[in-house]
Structure 1
Amino acid sequence: MLPFSPGADLVEARDRLRVLVDGVLTKLAEGVLPTEVERERIDCKEEAGRRGPGGTLLVGDPHNKEAARQLANEVTCMANTPGGGALLVGIEDRTGQLLGAGLDVDWLRHRVYELVGIAPAVEERRVDGVRLLVIYVAEAREPAENLDGQIRWRTGGHCVGVDRAEWWLHRQLSAGHDPMAQVTERTERDISPGAVAVARRYLAQNSKADVSAVLGGSVRELLTSLGVLRPDGRLTAAGALTFCPADRTHITLSVLDVEGGDLITAPRDLAGLSLLEQVAAIDDRLETLNKSVRVTQATGFAQPHVRQLPPQALREAVLNGVVHRDWMQPDPVSVTWVEEDSAVQVVSPGGFVGGITSDTVLTQRYARYPALADLFRALQLVEKQGLGVDRMYRDMVALGHRPPVLVEEGGPRVRTRLVGGTPVLPVMNLMGAIRPEVRQRDVKVALIVHALLHEPFVTAHMLTHLLQRGESEVLEALEVAAECSVGQDALITQYKDVWTLTWGAISIVNKSSGHEVLRRRGVLRHVKPDVVAAQLVARQWLSTHERYSSGDHSTLTGLTYAGARGQLERLEQAGLLRRGEGSGRSAHFVAGPQMTSAPVEGFPT
């Protein structure tokens, strides 16, 4: 009896595809074009942007953005095709001529992921001395949209458009099993008119594309465009759940005055409403509870009126709990709003799945029910798979709030907590000053800035938990942040083996508000510190370094050299530091008898 290995079917499928690729490459080397059967799974592509005047072949660019966009679109087409397939890059499709590929393997894989959210395997191959690339694309678990928002798959060796309903019909007939993609006996006649009205409202408010045909079309056209109505007129389980009246309440909202305090508003019984109508009812109520705060002198990221919690982060927290919950459990998603704290807590039945944990929510992507997740994405209610969590983090710290908390608890269940309040205007102004502007939307840059507003310095190792990435990726993120600017200054800079905010960045924060307001929020407490904060700066430095000098203290705190030396001498008198061996430029301090080795506290991130 052969041993069983999880994922063995995927490994075998990739091996079979590699054999097919080898056969096609052999034929091409012999001057023979692949057959139509082979072209269904294998597509030959010339790198876009490689032709000059008269069709002259130009030197390949390892970072050819035009070619990356072209291949990203082809990757989505192949991913939508049953069984997936492979792209042979560096081959003229019509003639089979080997032209060569200049794209860098690692750069291309990452760029495709950035563009369409799919990270294919990319291999370098050589045929008759010509460098080619083979891009292996696995079958997608949910419809993959190209850069124009279209869903295409391969038919007869070509990419052709397909609607969501047909995509899910084929998926239902394949080996993959998603309960939400199953067909039901419900039809258009069972749809709640209120759910249709809500769907049209959300599409009108949120869609980036032209949906006038959908908004003005029939209910059947609407449901078909969303991929929930089969050609035979029956609804998928995702469609029936979302659009048909429910026999129970799927989502509740409670309002408290303070944590553990009095109940201001009890949950409503929403049975009889469809899931979409229930979501809209909670959404509307939260919009009323999430009051606006007027801010002044705000630029860039800031707005004249800013909500106590970022609206998109708040919606994502609720919908993430609804879409990814375990629908086999009868309990509703529980939403609690705490008035005094401007905080929301969402408790969702079912634990994390797909390898996701509270330490990987920023980097792992998985949908328990792909068909339901795709439906809410088609309704423009949630971000592309997994990116909504990134946005939650980014939007919260960009207003000076703490990052979200997402943890798994007994039950199992997942609890998400956002704590808002009055936005920290200086933090908003700093985020709005970051250039290039696109980096204002980079969650890694936002989290690095958040950390350095609360810490005197960071290292790549210190940020691995916050960014939920390995040290090498964190170092890349730090280098990206270092290339950003604020006014005439860089955003962050390297000092010895650590990273700090530049004084240009700090000045933007400091001139926006009084120091006391910032320090109560824990922002820049290490700048011109009192003795207590100075002790924390010294302790944190000595937790990762053997010695601490007056120059180090001056650089980290903004004190003059004389002021820094005087402050360290006071810490020496208190027994927290003691002088090390050496004088002059070699003068320094080491940990004293009162300086414990306990984890540093006082600069929370």
Structure 2
Amino acid sequence: MGAVHVRMDDEGLTISNPGGLMDGVTLANLLTTEPRPRNRTLADAMKRIGVVERSGRGVDKIYRGMLRFGRPEPDYRRTDATSVILRLATTDADEAFLKRVVEEEGRRGSALPIDSLIALAALRGLKRLTTEELAIHIQREPAQAKRTLEALVEAGLAQAHGTTRGRTYTLAVGVYTAEGGKAAYTRQMGFSNLQHEQLVLSYVRQHGAIRRAEVIELCRLSEGQAKDLLKRMKMNELLLLEGAGRTAAYRIGPKV
């Protein structure tokens, strides 16, 4: 048996446990694989005498303890064949984020699922997510990632953008409750609008014109969002409208 090393520095707490991961456990399934104790008899005995509540649930507790307070998720990336190495960042807790999580847990009368906490953390860090991207974070299928994100939308914690095929998600404005948070949300959405405009203009330059259906597909927007984008670009003379109805198309405007 080797020694467990615990080291604290200015950036975080590092715990190194000898032995590597159990057979069948990888960094890609750490959250979802069935528990595999190194010594099943010892694990069962510890559970029976009440020292532990459930065997194999330590990783979930570590994730929940970090993410619920708005801190970065636990970092196992330095783990190798000989040691499991866990890094926990010691950044300050995000009190506004914690308050919003506590409010939601109080409303539903239960703790937020770990997948939801991971999704919220990913949205805070990456600003915008697809179901495929979240599936990697929660180590589940895209269908489960979609259910998690749609549940957050229903709870008012996330906001969906675009159609089912190209749907993306951001944090809802209500989550940005800290000082300066609303400004951060406005900046985020403003950047998205500018990006959409540039995508549309680039497409028109390459193909000569663009239709609303093509904007929906290109920018991953809903029909209403695409309509508003084109209307705004037309008013700003970035685009010119030709035709009407199904034949309507937009070309480069005089201000470009």
Residue of structure 2 in register with 1:357 after alignment: 26
When residues 362 and 512 of structure 1 are mapped into structure 2, their CA distance, relative to the original with a 3 A threshold, is same
Instruction: Name the SS of the counterpart of 2:76 in structure 1.
Output: strand
If asked which structure has higher relative contact order (CA below 8 Å, sep 6+), I would say 2
For structure 1, list consecutive stretches of 5 or more residues without a partner in the other structure: 1-328, 573-578, 590-605
When residues 535 and 482 of structure 1 are mapped into structure 2, their CA distance, relative to the original with a 3 A threshold, is closer
Separation in 1 of the partners of 2:57 and 2:196? 36
Separation in 1 of the partners of 2:243 and 2:128? 26
Work out which of the residue numbers 150, 164, 179 in structure 2 matches 1:513.
179
Separation in 2 of the partners of 1:514 and 1:419? 23
Work out which of the residue numbers 39, 64, 72 in structure 2 matches 1:369.
39
Matched, 1:463 2:134: yes
Residue of structure 2 in register with 1:480 after alignment: 151
Separation in 2 of the partners of 1:582 and 1:379? 77
Matched, 1:386 2:53: no
Residue of structure 2 in register with 1:437 after alignment: 109
When residues 475 and 351 of structure 1 are mapped into structure 2, their CA distance, relative to the original with a 3 A threshold, is same
**Aligned-residue CA RMSD in angstroms?**
4.3
The answer (yes or no) to whether the contact 2:197–2:233 under 8 Å persists in 1 is no
Separation in 2 of the partners of 1:408 and 1:429? 32
| Aligned-pair CA distance for 1:427 | 1.3
Residue of structure 2 in register with 1:448 after alignment: 119
Per-residue CA deviations over 1:74-119 (Å, capped at 9, x if unaligned) read: xxxxxxxxxxxxxxxxxxxxxxxxxxxxxxxxxxxxxxxxxxxxxx
Separation in 2 of the partners of 1:345 and 1:381? 24
Instruction: Name the SS of the counterpart of 1:447 in structure 2.
Output: helix
Per-residue CA deviations over 1:523-571 (Å, capped at 9, x if unaligned) read: 886244499xx559978xx9xx85238x77x96xxxx9699759x99xx
| Aligned-pair CA distance for 1:362 | 0.5
Amino acid at match of 1:492: A
| Aligned-pair CA distance for 1:369 | 1.1
| Aligned-pair CA distance for 1:387 | 2.3
Structure 1 stretch displaced more, 472-481 or 395-404: 472-481
Alignment of 1:539-578 (within 5 A): 547-548=218-219, 565=233
Report the count of equivalent residues: 225
Separation in 1 of the partners of 2:17 and 2:147? 34
Separation in 2 of the partners of 1:507 and 1:348? 40
Separation in 2 of the partners of 1:412 and 1:431? 37
Per-residue CA deviations over 1:43-65 (Å, capped at 9, x if unaligned) read: xxxxxxxxxxxxxxxxxxxxxxx
The answer (yes or no) to whether the contact 1:454–1:524 under 8 Å persists in 2 is no
Residue of structure 1 in register with 2:75 after alignment: 405
TM-score, normalised relative to structure 2: 0.68
For structure 2, list consecutive stretches of 5 or more residues without a partner in the other structure: 204-215
The answer (yes or no) to whether the contact 1:400–1:427 under 8 Å persists in 2 is yes
Work out which of the residue numbers 17, 29, 32 in structure 2 matches 1:348.
17
Runs of 4 or more, structure 1, over 6 Å off, are: 536-539, 581-585
Per-residue CA deviations over 1:207-252 (Å, capped at 9, x if unaligned) read: xxxxxxxxxxxxxxxxxxxxxxxxxxxxxxxxxxxxxxxxxxxxxx
Per-residue CA deviations over 1:2-23 (Å, capped at 9, x if unaligned) read: xxxxxxxxxxxxxxxxxxxxxx
Separation in 2 of the partners of 1:466 and 1:444? 9
Separation in 1 of the partners of 2:197 and 2:6? 39
Amino acid at match of 1:350: G
Per-residue CA deviations over 1:481-517 (Å, capped at 9, x if unaligned) read: 344x2xxxx3334431324357xx42342x332249x
Residue of structure 2 in register with 1:184 after alignment: none
TM-score, normalised relative to structure 1: 0.32
Residue of structure 2 in register with 1:422 after alignment: 92
- If you compute each CA radius of gyration, which structure gives the higher value, 1 or 2? 1
The answer (yes or no) to whether the contact 2:100–2:175 under 8 Å persists in 1 is yes
The answer (yes or no) to whether the contact 1:349–1:414 under 8 Å persists in 2 is yes
Instruction: Name the SS of the counterpart of 2:188 in structure 1.
Output: coil
